[in-house]
Structure 1
Amino acid sequence: MAKLFFRYAAMNAGKSTALLQVAYNYEERGHRVRLFTAQVDDRYGRGQITSRLGPHREAELFQPDTDFLALFHAGEKIACILIDEAQFLQKAQVWALHELAHLHNVPVICYGLRTDFQGELFSGSASLLALADEMDEMKTICDCGRKATMNMRVDASNRKVTEGQQVEIGGNARYRSVCGRCFRQN
C-alpha cells in the first residue's frame, strides 16, 4: 500500500539533494517518477529542483490552484510523486496527494520546511503533519553545533528579522538554520 510521506527540516538539511537521489534511484530501475516544485520558488530558475551541492533537474510547477488529481490519468504508470518546497502546498492539495497515495496506490514523498522565520507552521506543512502516514525529520546543525530546528530570517547586516511576509524567497543570503536557543537569543 502506498503512503504519503513528509520529510521536513530546517533550511540546508539536504532536502532537495535527498529528493533528487530518490528520483535517480527509481529511474535507474526503469520506473517513472513525477517531480514538482513550487512556482513561487525561483532562486535557481522556475521549474528547477536544485541542490546546493550542484545536482539539479527540471520539475513540473505547482501553484496554489494546481489540481494534482486532474494531472493524473487512470492507467498512468507512475512509481512515485516527489514534491519539493512542500510547505507551499495548500490544504486541499495535501488532501489530493493523500488520495493519490491511498486510492490510486502512488507513493507521494513531500520535502519541505516545517515552520517559517517566526516559528509558525506553513499551511502545507500543517496539513502534511496532520495527514502524512510517515514523517521524517532531516537534520542539520546550527552555527553553535546544536541541531538546527528553526529558520531565522536575517537582514543585510545579519540581524534577526522578526516581522514581515511569511514568504520571502532569498536562500542562504536571507536565512539561517538555527537551534531553538539561538533563535530565541538573537
Structure 2
Amino acid sequence: MHAITRSGWIEVISGSMFSGKTEELLRRLRRAEIAGRSVGVFTPAVDDRYGETTIGSHAGRQWEATVVDNEGEGPRDILDDRPIAEVIAIDEANFFSNALVDVCETLADGGSRVIVSGTDQTFRGEPFEPLPQLMATAEYVDKLQAVCSECGEPASRNQRLIDGAPAHADDPTILVGAAESYEARCRDCHVLVTGRSDD
C-alpha cells in the first residue's frame, strides 16, 4: 500500500451505503493487526447501530471502538488518545464535523496511517462533508459501489425511504439507519422528492 517510511498518510474508503466500506475498513484493520501494528478505532457518538462502542458492517463483522463526540470540536478528542496508534481507523466520517479534516492531517503528519470510512453523498446526491475534503487531501481514495436495489446496475447513491417511499429533499440530512431507511440506487433510479402536495 505504501513505502515503509516514517511518514504517515490518509486513506479514504467511500461510496454509497451497502457498498462494503466498513467491511473494507475492518479488512485493513485485521491486516494491520496481523502485521503487529498498534491500532486505534473511533466511531461517532451519533451512530450506535452496532452497539455504543463498536463499529460494524451490514455483514455482521465488528470491532471495538472509542466513541467520539462528532459535533463541533469533538473530533479533536481523537488526538487525546495516548499513545497515538500506528494505525488510526475512523468509521462513519460523514457524521463528523469538518474538524475531522485537521485531526486526520495532524495524525498523518505525526506518522500514523489514517484510514477513514464514510459515505461521500447525502441522500440528496450532494457532497457529504467532511468526506469530499478528506478525499481531496488523502494519499489514497477508494470509492466503492453497491448494487442498485431497483435495476441491479452499480449504485453510487443513497435512497432514503420514509414508510417505503422516497424522502423529501427538505428532510434532515442525518438519519442513522440501515435497510429499513435506505437503499443503494444508481443515478437513474435515485429519486428525490422536491414538491410538497397540499392536503
Q: TM-score, normalised by structure 1?
A: 0.89
- For residue 23 of structure 2, the aligned residue among 5, 10, 17 is 17
SS in 2 for 1:66: helix
Give me the whole-angstrom Cα distance separating, in 2, the residues matched to 1:153 and 1:184. Answer: 9
Aligned-residue RMSD, C-alpha:
1.8
Q: Residue 178 of structure 1 aligns with which residue?
A: 185
Asked if structure 2 preserves the Cα contact closer than 8 Å seen for 1:154 and 1:161, the reply is yes
In the TM superposition, residue 29 of structure 1 has moved relative to its aligned partner by: 2.4
* Higher helix residue share: 1
- For residue 154 of structure 1, the aligned residue among 154, 161, 179 is 161
Higher mean Cα deviation, 169-178 or 15-24?
15-24
Which 4+ residue blocks in structure 1 deviate beyond 4 angstroms? none
In the TM superposition, residue 127 of structure 1 has moved relative to its aligned partner by: 2.2
Question: Residue by residue, what CA displacement relative to the aligned partner does 1:71-104 show, whole Å, maximum 9, x if unpaired?
Answer: 245xx362210111011222222112112112x1
Give me the whole-angstrom Cα distance separating, in 2, the residues matched to 1:19 and 1:69. Answer: 18
- For residue 89 of structure 1, the aligned residue among 81, 90, 96 is 96
* Higher strand residue share: 2
Gaps of 5+ in 1: none
Instruction: Give runs of aligned pairs for residues 6-155 of structure 1, distance below 5 A.
Output: 6-63=12-69, 64=71, 65-68=74-77, 70-73=79-82, 76=83, 78-102=85-109, 104-143=110-149, 144-155=151-162
Q: Residue 8 of structure 2 aligns with which residue?
A: 2
Give me the whole-angstrom Cα distance separating, in 2, the residues matched to 1:77 and 1:88. Answer: 22
Q: Percentage identity across aligned positions?
A: 29
Give me the whole-angstrom Cα distance separating, in 1, the residues matched to 2:79 and 2:114. Answer: 16
Question: Residue by residue, what CA displacement relative to the aligned partner does 1:122-142 show, whole Å, maximum 9, x if unpaired?
Answer: 222132133222211112110
Gaps of 5+ in 2: 1-6, 194-199
Q: What is the total number of aligned residue pairs between the two structures?
A: 182
In the TM superposition, residue 153 of structure 1 has moved relative to its aligned partner by: 0.5
Q: TM-score, normalised by structure 2?
A: 0.84
Give me the whole-angstrom Cα distance separating, in 2, the residues matched to 1:9 and 1:166. Answer: 17
